[in-house]
Structure 1
Amino acid sequence: MSTMRPTPTQHDLDGLLASELLVEASGVPAIAYVRAGLPGAPTIVGLPGGGHLARVFYGHPGSRAEDFLDFWLEQRGLGLIALSYPSDHRAFRRRLTALTVTDWANAAAVITAKIVKTRGLHGPIVPIGWSMAGRASRAFNVAARPLGLGMPGFIALAATPPLPGMVGADPEGVPFTEEGFWRTGSNDADSLSARNESFLRDINWKGTEIIDAAAYAEYYIVNTPIRLRGEPNQRPGLDRNSLLDTIADLGTFAFPEYPFTGVIAPTHTTDARHALTDQATWGFLNSQKFFSEYSAAKPMPALDWSQLRELALQLPTRLCRYVEGGHFFFLGRDGAAQTASHIQDLCNQLEHLQGRGKWESTNLPQTPAGPVG
């Protein structure tokens, strides 16, 4: 794989790739990548995890397109809006070190609505949250409602839900940069943090290099606003930093406000927490959501009680898929193709669960879709 950079453009000099633009809503900026899908097809909104730009969904100059989700989503007619939260990346002029999950989810939803309107996009909007981005699932769903976004659900990719206490706390606390960001990485290929060295091994676990150390450091790694982590007491002196504040920000127990969530989980011991718990954890939240819909007598599929009960029992498995790999299972040709297949399937499942019908892809061109997991 070539890692040679193309001739710099003005975008490049500002830290943006030619395919990216800087957008803002409610005083919160983001780096956006936008590619429209087929008319009426779902548009996927990619939200990245801690320490990473949303380029994990669409790649960097010199990378192989088929190693990234965007390529395979396009083969299936699905659009992509990928949004990178404000960090210490040089494209951002302001440093929002205390950005909350609610702040980011609200801005991301408004930015999505603006893009949908200006680009004339039609069809469902389905956010996919990788890793830390699962924290924003409820808040994004709440923000999407008044904006008229047709959001049948959320899809979690090895993602942590809005439940504090799920991530092990270091008794010495997490490291911070001088600016006050959670130090999640180093932009020097020769001195990657132990965390990112581990991630890089996970990315390239099959032995075929997908992202090399230099490209990883230059194009993907950032330091992160600590409150997006969704855990309390991470930084002494930070306002709204208690467990109660964190629960309020995440909306942990506001079960009716959660979206139905499809789950795509890894299989390897390198990401044991997600491999072992994602189906059950998100399944619990889906069950609570299902019960809240039933209790509120909202429109549900025309099923009798025995059918409703059977559907509730099936939810944890019906909305869960697995892809071989670790935390970056969606990178690499096979993993990206399988993940895109599961995303399309889960979009259909979420639409059907909401009683909105099923988006059919019979009008797609006959292009290779890759292996299905």
Structure 2
Amino acid sequence: MASHDNNNGRLYPGEVLDTIGGFPTIYHYAPAHLEDESSNPLIVLIPGAVHLARIFYGGHEGSRQEDFLVYWLNKLGFGVLSLSYPLETSPSLMPATGSSFNIADWGHQAALTTQLIMDHHSLPNRSVILASWSMGGRVIVQFNIACKKLNIRVEQFISLAATPGISGIRSTGSKMDCTPAGYFGIFQRVEAFCRQLNAVDEANHGRKVIPRELYLREYIGATPINLIGLGLKYNGKDTFIKSDTTHEEDSLIFDIENIPFISALYPTSPLDSGHALTDKATWGFLLTYQLESMIPNGHLKHAEGTLMWEKLRELFDEAPSRMSRAMTGNHFFFVGEKGARETADRLMTLLREGTALRAELTSILSKGEAD
């Protein structure tokens, strides 16, 4: 049963604690500012490891709405649903019952919550834009598959310095902390996150966007081990053991036909060098195979020497650059008024570019049929 508060940690305004898909979640829905703009697709935001979805909308004591992405997306006419997967926090916000929560569960829960919001608010558009941050990139295929079963269309995915569901491409450090409830506590990375948030403060004239003590107490928690991509699971007692399911089998990242249309925003700071140096290529790799899957079987049988073939090659060469944009900043480039506003604007740019690129592909292929 949904709750707007609990007996331990404090829920922020607009947050709802619920059990959906058999696991706890906290969701936050912010409708579009203007009623006549509710026909736009719903934007669904999914956070990465350690973090609650609060990183997208704020709400701590003394916070400013303008420092968070949801505010600017609302101003642009989009309703936004921010989804926190099961986290073990201190003080407790959700029941710590999600140690077995995997990526398939994640996609299922996120899709069910999306359906819940669409139905409860009678949203006329059954389409969504998915934007995932960091580890949230691992859920995109399972989310899309679950949405299809609910007659919800994922129009486009936008990576916010996100990681796809491929084993071993992101280090989590050498220390393996198993909490008493069986969650993975990657708290050795928290200091790196705090340094990057300090840089966000500096970019916003030295103003504390999320004070350190509030960040540690109200924004982060331990993560279900199955989401991390290490091929491990909780043994039900006191440690992690090798999982019977590989990370790729859980994430289904190479199920190309079920990946939503890909686009990416990536950071520029060496404080987040892994994403700054690789995201364009990583997501561009998957986008290229995705575009290839859109070409009907046998369509290129007589393409040799045709204008259609040359235009198709040109489109494929350009696509990774067209569908990605660099964002000044680090892993938290979308936090703070300047970054949040610019991120919202770039999201709109990528949505327009995605529509244009797909239309161009359709046009090229249709002209090839005519030839």
Question: Contact 2:52 / 2:85 at 8 angstroms: preserved in 1?
Answer: yes
1:322 partner SS: strand
Q: 1:228 to 1:297 in 2, by over 3 A?
A: farther
CA distance in 1, matches of 2:102, 2:196: 25
Q: 1:146 to 1:332 in 2, by over 3 A?
A: same
My pick for the range that moved more, 38-47 or 273-282, is 38-47
CA distance in 2, matches of 1:353, 1:109: 26
Paired residues for 1:168-247 under 5 Å: 168=171, 170=173, 172-185=174-187, 193-206=190-203, 207-233=206-232, 238=240, 241=243, 245-247=246-248
Q: 1:104 to 1:17 in 2, by over 3 A?
A: same
Residue matched to 2:46 = 47
Q: What letter is aligned with 2:184? A: W
Q: TM-score, normalised by structure 1?
A: 0.83
Residue matched to 2:99 = 97
Residue matched to 2:365 = none
Q: What letter is aligned with 2:198? A: R
| Displacement after TM superposition at 1:352 (Å) | 4.0
Residue matched to 2:304 = none
Residue matched to 1:315 = 319
CA distance in 1, matches of 2:287, 2:193: 32
Residue matched to 1:11 = 5
Question: Contact 2:134 / 2:160 at 8 angstroms: preserved in 1?
Answer: yes
Q: What letter is aligned with 2:144? A: N
My pick for the range that moved more, 193-202 or 95-104, is 193-202
Q: Is 2:156 the counterpart of 1:159? A: no
Residue matched to 1:84 = 84
Taking only the aligned residue pairs, the percentage that are identical comes to 33
Residue matched to 2:294 = 293
Q: What letter is aligned with 1:57? A: F
1:204 partner SS: helix
Residue matched to 1:33 = 28
Q: 1:109 to 1:350 in 2, by over 3 A?
A: farther
Question: Contact 2:259 / 2:290 at 8 angstroms: preserved in 1?
Answer: yes
CA distance in 1, matches of 2:280, 2:133: 15
Q: What letter is aligned with 1:258? A: I
Deviation readout 1:129-179 (Å, 9 max, x if unpaired)? 000000111111111112111211211000101111101264x44222222
Q: 1:319 to 1:240 in 2, by over 3 A?
A: same
CA distance in 2, matches of 1:221, 1:50: 9
Residue matched to 2:115 = 113
Q: What letter is aligned with 2:43? A: I
Structure 2 residues not aligned, in runs of 5+? 300-306, 361-371
CA distance in 1, matches of 2:240, 2:216: 28
Q: What letter is aligned with 1:65? A: Q
| Displacement after TM superposition at 1:94 (Å) | 4.4
Q: Is 2:63 the counterpart of 1:63? A: yes
| Displacement after TM superposition at 1:355 (Å) | 4.7
Q: What letter is aligned with 1:99? A: F
Q: What letter is aligned with 2:195? A: S
Q: 1:269 to 1:94 in 2, by over 3 A?
A: closer
| Displacement after TM superposition at 1:84 (Å) | 0.4
Residue matched to 2:338 = 334
| Displacement after TM superposition at 1:290 (Å) | 0.7
Question: Contact 2:58 / 2:68 at 8 angstroms: preserved in 1?
Answer: yes
Larger Rg: 2
| Displacement after TM superposition at 1:263 (Å) | 0.2
Question: Contact 1:67 / 1:331 at 8 angstroms: preserved in 2?
Answer: yes
Question: Contact 2:6 / 2:93 at 8 angstroms: preserved in 1?
Answer: no
| Displacement after TM superposition at 1:239 (Å) | 6.3
Structure 1 residues not aligned, in runs of 5+? 1-8, 187-191, 357-373
| Displacement after TM superposition at 1:118 (Å) | 1.4
| Displacement after TM superposition at 1:116 (Å) | 0.9
| Displacement after TM superposition at 1:238 (Å) | 4.4
Structure 1 residue aligned with 2:16, among 6, 9, 21?
A: 21
CA distance in 1, matches of 2:155, 2:241: 34
Question: Contact 1:12 / 1:18 at 8 angstroms: preserved in 2?
Answer: no
Q: 1:296 to 1:220 in 2, by over 3 A?
A: farther
| Displacement after TM superposition at 1:196 (Å) | 4.2
Q: TM-score, normalised by structure 2?
A: 0.83
Deviation readout 1:273-314 (Å, 9 max, x if unpaired)? 11111011100000011111114589xxxx943333222211
Residue matched to 2:124 = 122
Q: Is 2:352 the counterpart of 1:348? A: yes
